[in-house]
Amino acid sequence: MNELNKIHKIIFDAIDVLNEGLDIEKRISKSNDTVLYGTNSRLDSFGLVNLIITVEEKIQDETGVALNLADEKALSRKSSPFLTVGTLSAYIEELLKNT
């Protein structure tokens, strides 16, 4: 499994955890194009924050690396890393490469 596939799996596992607590119509799907926080997003602020924290915890469990995905650096990027599963995966891949 390559790095990006691993990251996808981590995000999908985190989506499963998040979906557990959401009403059926608010659940989010598991695909590269799934909107996390952007146009037609179904997540509220706490949904987004909880998803990010679960992803961070799972990355640490699997790779031993403690990432901070939503620091000021992430927030001040011109293009938000949290728009879709795809943009978040790319951002995590970039951070892991630099560790």
Partner 1 sequence: MHADFLTDAFEKYSGSPALVWNGRSYDYKTLLEIFNKRSSEIKSVYNLRGKVTALKSDFSPESVCLMLALIENECITVPLNRNSKENENKISDIAMCEWLIETDENDNVSYKDLENTASHILYDSLKEKNHPGLVLFSSGTSGIPKAAVHDFTNLLEKFKTQRTAFYTLNFLLFDHWGGLNTMFHTLSNGGLLVFTNDRTPENVCSLIEKHKIELLPASPTFLNLLLLSEAYKKSDLSSLKIISYGTEPMLPGTLKRLNNIFPGVKFRQTYGLIEIGVMRSSSLSNDSLWVKLGGEGYTTRVVDNILQVKSSSSILGYLNYPSPFTEDGWFITEDYVETDGEYFRILGRKTDLMNIGGEKVYPAEIEDVLKELENVAEAIVYSEPNSITGNIICAEVTMIKDADKNEFKSKIRKHCRERLENFKVPSRIIISDKIDYTERFKKKKPVNNRS
Distance between CA 14 and CA 7 in Å, rounded?
A: 11
Span of 4-12, 25-33, 39-47, 90-98 interacting with partner 1 by CB under 8 A: 39-47
Chosen residue from 19, 34, 50, 63 binding partner 1 by CB under 8 A: 50
Nearer to partner 1, 5 or 73 (CB): 73
Chosen residue from 3, 21, 32, 66 binding partner 1 by CB under 8 A: 21
- Give the dihedral sign, CA 58/59/60/66: negative
- For residues 72 and 59, is the Cβ–Cβ distance under 8 A? no
- For residues 89 and 7, is the Cβ–Cβ distance under 8 A? yes
Interface residues toward partner 1, by CB under 8 A: 17, 20-21, 37-41, 44-46, 48-50, 52-53, 57, 70-72, 74-76, 79-80, 82-83
